[in-house]
Amino acid sequence: MAEGEWEKVPVRKPDRSHENAANEGEDDGSEEEPDFSDQEGFVDDITDEELLGDLLKQKPKEAVGIDSVVVVDNIPQVGNDRLPKLKNVVRKIFSKFGQITTEHYPEEGAKTKGFCFLEFSSQANAIEAAKQMNGYKLDKLHTFAVNLFSDFDKYSSIPDKWETPEIQPYKDHGNLKNWLQQADCQDQYCVIFNAGETTAIFSNTPTEALVVEERKRWTETYVRWSPQGTYLATLHQKGIALWGGEKFQQIRRFAHTGVQLIDFSPCERYLVTFSPLIDTREEPQAIIIWDIRTGAKRRGFHCENAAQWPIFKWSADGKFFARMTTDTLSIYETPSFGLLDKKSLKITGIKDFAWSPADNIISYWVPEEKENPARVTLIELPSRRELRIKNLFNVAECKLHWQKLGDYMCCKVDRYTKSKKGQFCNFEIFRIREKQIPVDSVEVKEAIIAFAWEPTGSKFVILHGESPRISASFYNIKARANVELIKCLERRVANSLFWSPMGQFVILAGLRGMNGQFEFIDTNDMTIMNANEHFMATDVEWDPTGRYVITGVSWWSHKVDNAYWVWNFQGKVLQKCTRERFCQMLWRPRPPTLLSAEQIRDVKKNMKTYSKQFELKDRMSQSKASKELIEKRQTMIEEYTKYVARLEEQWQEEKQIRLELRSGTDTDELDSHVENMEEEVIEFFLGEEITEVDEFDYE
């Protein structure tokens, strides 16, 4: 079995030899009853778990009876007259974790004792209730202490003598960051082709792509890199597999039948998987959050609506994640995976939210309701302090866009005109780093096609208008001033924007219906460096350094001309790679740099010092000489240099011997003998050129 494939259960076919024997006899008009009995001496080596694994999971299991019981302590002590009301309150709180089959409130005298027993229909419900409701604050005087009833036996039977746990063997996966130590800093990318049958990892060079790893049927659908490039995730019917290290060995597997969508936390500590096939009220399994390091399931969730993915959105540091439901924003914290402060935010009418890419700040918006205006709110976590509220009127729709560094947040607001018959658009720009977070407004009265922030700067681009009169407007945010329009490029063939990860350069792309038109623009001086076409292109991917960009025509979208092209940032085509039924291409991300901002400024300041060696390497890579020949020449030069140094050292060591042989006369100095030296000229044949001359008539 190839590495990475999930194990396939063999299925034994019934013996049909009797059918051939029946055909040899005469046809008497009646069909012989088929015989499905086993052959003599047959031994069935297939277990019930292999054939009926899914059904056996649902088989009733013998239980002690206390595994699904929780003990809720610190509830109010009430009399018989108020007991029904207390039961209704407790039942309402705990019924969201599953069906409560039995409840018991012990009494002492005329009042309850202050605790109760709740039995759920399954153990999984009881475990979830104990995990989520322990520490729940009912009112100022009562905070629940919830435990599993089985825990009392477990903790009471702990032995007094400490036994050292057995040390588990450590499995070394090697250096998972080894690709960052590559001498020439060449980035890698993953390509799926042959209609998904082949997946390969390539190392990018200016002249050709070098194969790092290639495997058949590595994934059943598509692949994903983790945010920092440590892991490659492949999807299978039975779950997810993560690969990494120098040879891309399997790091871990996560069993989730029918998985379709995945997402990583920014810190690469957790993996979120979604499957629509398996989900029960008793045990949520539609969405599962896994711990990547241990492979343990941390928590499961139900999925009411998977139309928008990811359902959970992560904070920049991976400490929090949030999901939105009707009138509720639920924020969870790690590693407990419980609600922050044990409660959700009640936000009536919430439509969308987004995390800052750099700070623990959430932005969300709610629409207008009756006399109340629409509003955009920024809140800080975990304090839940409101940093800024912006009221908006005549709002049809909003879209939240954060700049990569978290310095700015743009709220694209589609507004109705006063007559409610037309629409126009406003861009509300929040300056996050400035005092009291001031807001600038940019109005565009044409239809908006696309919007994109410069990742590392203060510029943004807006595509607006309708074909063939589409314009690209470039803006810059000035310190303590309004937003400035840098330039407007009119009549562009574009419907998408792609900024370089390092900023400054942007691609105006006309994908799919616009036949793959590309313009490469330098926004520092607003010059169009190049314009070119990759016919029917469907995808554009910048590499992490911003030096290269790949455009592709995916077989998933078009069945012809499937290939990907590698360009430099100036719009020059370097490679045209034709792969049979090319499907997907993804650059391998790089982790954040370890250099400080001051060190980065110093490198940029002294770039001319390093540019010569970089230019030399680029010329060598573009040379037609093979890598082996260059290495051979370099080795010969090094050997010659060592040989000359060794002879010079020997010559100096023998100087005293020369003086003794020549009666103390130093003949090493040649200046006194220059007049006695004769110059010798050596001629050697370089080549011969023969030119034919027409005959000349002298007469």
Q: Is 288 within a domain?
A: no
Average pLDDT, integer, range 367-380 = 92
Q: How many domains does the chain have?
A: 2
The domain boundary residue, chosen from 617, 639, 655: 617
Same domain flag for 518 and 554: yes
Same domain flag for 74 and 199: no
Using 50, 70 and 90 to split pLDDT, how confident is the model at 187? Answer: very high
Q: Is the peptide bond before 382 cis (omega within 30 degrees of 0)?
A: yes
Average pLDDT, integer, range 77-89 = 92
Same domain flag for 194 and 85: no
Using 50, 70 and 90 to split pLDDT, how confident is the model at 183? Answer: confident
Asked if the model's pLDDT at residue 143 lies above 70, the reply is: yes
Q: Is 588 within a domain?
A: yes
- State the CATH number of the domain containing residue 148: 3.30.70.330
Average pLDDT, integer, range 359-370 = 93
Write the pLDDT tens digit of every residue in 501-545. 999 999 999 998 888 999 999 999 999 999 999 999 999 999 999
Write the pLDDT tens digit of every residue in 379-403. 999 999 999 999 999 899 999 999 9
564: β partners:
552, 577
- pLDDT higher for 138 or 233? 233
- State the CATH number of the domain containing residue 183: 2.40.10.480
Token pair belonging to 387: 């940093």
Asked if the model's pLDDT at residue 682 lies above 90, the reply is: no
What CA–CA distances, in Å, run from 328 to 300, 346, 351, 605?
Answer: 19, 5, 10, 50
Residue of 528, 569, 529, 573 whose CA lies nearest to 552: 573
Average pLDDT, integer, range 254-269 = 94
Measured in degrees and rounded to the nearest 5, phi and psi for residue 268 equal 65, 20
What CA–CA distances, in Å, run from 358 to 230, 350, 355?
Answer: 20, 23, 9
Asked if the model's pLDDT at residue 697 lies above 70, the reply is: no
Average pLDDT, integer, range 333-358 = 92
Place of tokens 């790092």: 212
What residues have CB less than 8 Å from 522, skipping those under 6 apart? 504, 505, 529
Same domain flag for 181 and 151: no
Same domain flag for 123 and 181: no
Asked if the model's pLDDT at residue 568 lies above 60, the reply is: yes
Mean pLDDT of the chain: 85
Residue of 298, 307, 300, 352 whose CA lies nearest to 325: 352
Asked if the model's pLDDT at residue 241 lies above 90, the reply is: yes
pLDDT > 90: percent of the chain: 55
pLDDT of residue 190: 96
Using 50, 70 and 90 to split pLDDT, how confident is the model at 156? Answer: confident
Average pLDDT, integer, range 591-610 = 85
Q: Is 1 within a domain?
A: no
| DSSP per-residue string spanning 422-457 | -EEEEEEEEETTSTT--EEEEEE-S-EEEEEE-TTS
Rounded to 5°, angle at Cα 401 from 396 and 402? 150
Same domain flag for 117 and 194: no
Same domain flag for 496 and 557: yes
Provide the CB-side half-sphere exposure for 93 (13 A, CA). 21
Token pair belonging to 76: 């109010």
| DSSP per-residue string spanning 247-286 | TTEEEEEEE-TT--EEEE-TTSSEEEEE-SS---SSS--S
Owning domain of residue 529: 177-207+477-617
Same domain flag for 75 and 184: no
Q: Is the peptide bond before 335 cis (omega within 30 degrees of 0)?
A: yes
Asked if the model's pLDDT at residue 17 lies above 60, the reply is: no
Same domain flag for 599 and 512: yes
Asked if the model's pLDDT at residue 289 lies above 60, the reply is: yes
Same domain flag for 107 and 187: no
pLDDT of residue 678: 59
Q: Is 6 within a domain?
A: no
Q: Is 626 within a domain?
A: no
Handedness of CA 16, 20, 25, 27 (dihedral sign): positive
Hey, which of 144-158, 231-245, 421-435 has the most confident mean pLDDT?
Answer: 231-245
Could you report how far apart the first and last alpha carbons of the chain are, in Å? 92
Q: Is 556 within a domain?
A: yes
Average pLDDT, integer, range 290-308 = 86
pLDDT > 70: percent of the chain: 83
pLDDT of residue 38: 58
| DSSP per-residue string spanning 498-542 | EE-TTSSEEEEEE-GGG-SEEEEEETTTTEEEEEEE-TT--EEEE
Q: Is 654 within a domain?
A: no
Q: Is 503 within a domain?
A: yes
3-state secondary structure (DSSP) of residue 658: helix
Asked if the model's pLDDT at residue 41 lies above 60, the reply is: yes
Q: Are 112 and 105 in contact (CB under 8 A)?
A: yes
Average pLDDT, integer, range 192-203 = 94
The domain boundary residue, chosen from 617, 636, 652: 617
Same domain flag for 73 and 197: no
Using 50, 70 and 90 to split pLDDT, how confident is the model at 140? Answer: confident
Cα-Cα-Cα-Cα torsion 452, 453, 459, 465, nearest 10 degrees, comes to 20
Same domain flag for 141 and 196: no
